[in-house]
């Protein structure tokens, strides 16, 4: 039995191509006894990191105010959900050459020193190991393999930092370049999904 966590980061929820592709793959990966957990960052946005929230993470547990305890409990819940997942399927649209700000806020709340990573004499060590991540990346233009694709390196770097090194990307690009191009790109992405789930 495994747990599949589907993280959707599009502003457009179920209408977005990244949400649809990620949901398709998540369903394809499920066995009869498996559990699907969905986190939609549009319907339940994670607050952006503030000095107050970051200070709550740094404050020793015994010294936290009730407000700080609530902030840490919220972060802990996100981390527990991530820790419990065996497979993570991330829907990733591109906004202005970067990741959605809600996904960055999510990353900021699950990157916690001593919880999801730790500093060692050899450098940072990720603590969320043994997981597989599939990233369904959708873009209006064609950016894969170019300097404009800041997403791939950033997402891979962040996940590696917290211990998740088995990361695979599926791209659907050129979705704004006309219906024929869009259809071809989505067909290619769906074919890749079928291969991954086989």
Q: Which domains does the chain have, with CATH numbers?
A: 3-45+76-197 (3.40.50.360)
Tell me how many degrees the CA angle 125-101-81 measures, rounded to the nearest 5: 50
pLDDT at 197: 83
Is 140 annotated in a binding site? The answer is yes
Widest CA span in the chain: 60
Q: Which of 34, 127, 20, 125 is nearest to 79 (CA)?
A: 127
pLDDT-based confidence at residue 74 (cuts at 50, 70, 90): very high
Q: What is the pLDDT of residue 192?
A: 94
Mean pLDDT of the region 22-37: 94
Burial class (CB in 10 A: 0-12, 13-18, 19+), 21: buried
141 is in an annotated binding site: yes
Q: Read off the DSSP letter of residue 52.
A: H
Which pLDDT belongs to residue 198? Answer: 76
Confidence tier at 22 by pLDDT (50, 70, 90): very high
Residue 16 annotated as part of some ligand binding site = yes
95 annotated as ligand-binding: yes
- 96 a known binding residue? yes
């Amino acid at each position: 039995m495994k747990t599949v966590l589907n993280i959707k980061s599009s502003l457009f929820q179920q209408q977005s191509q990244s949400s649809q592709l990620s949901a398709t793959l998540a369903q394809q990966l499920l066995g009869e006894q498996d559990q699907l957990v969905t986190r939609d960052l549009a319907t339940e946005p994670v607050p952006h990191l503030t000095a107050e929230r970051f200070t709550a993470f740094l404050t020793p547990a015994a010294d936290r105010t009730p407000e700080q305890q609530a902030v840490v409990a919220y972060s802990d819940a996100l981390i527990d959900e991530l820790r419990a997942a065996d497979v993570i399927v991330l829907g990733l649209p591109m906004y202005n050459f970067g990741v959605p700000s809600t996904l960055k806020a999510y990353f900021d709340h699950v990157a916690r020193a001593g919880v999801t990573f730790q500093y060692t004499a050899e450098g940072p060590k990720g603590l969320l190991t043994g997981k597989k991540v599939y990233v369904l990346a959708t873009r209006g233009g064609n950016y894969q393999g170019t300097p404009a694709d800041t997403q791939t390196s950033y997402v891979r770097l962040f996940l590696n930092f917290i211990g998740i090194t088995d990361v695979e990307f599926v791209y659907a690009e050129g979705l704004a370049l006309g219906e024929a191009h869009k259809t071809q790109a989505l067909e290619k992405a769906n074919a890749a999904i079928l291969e991954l789930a086989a």
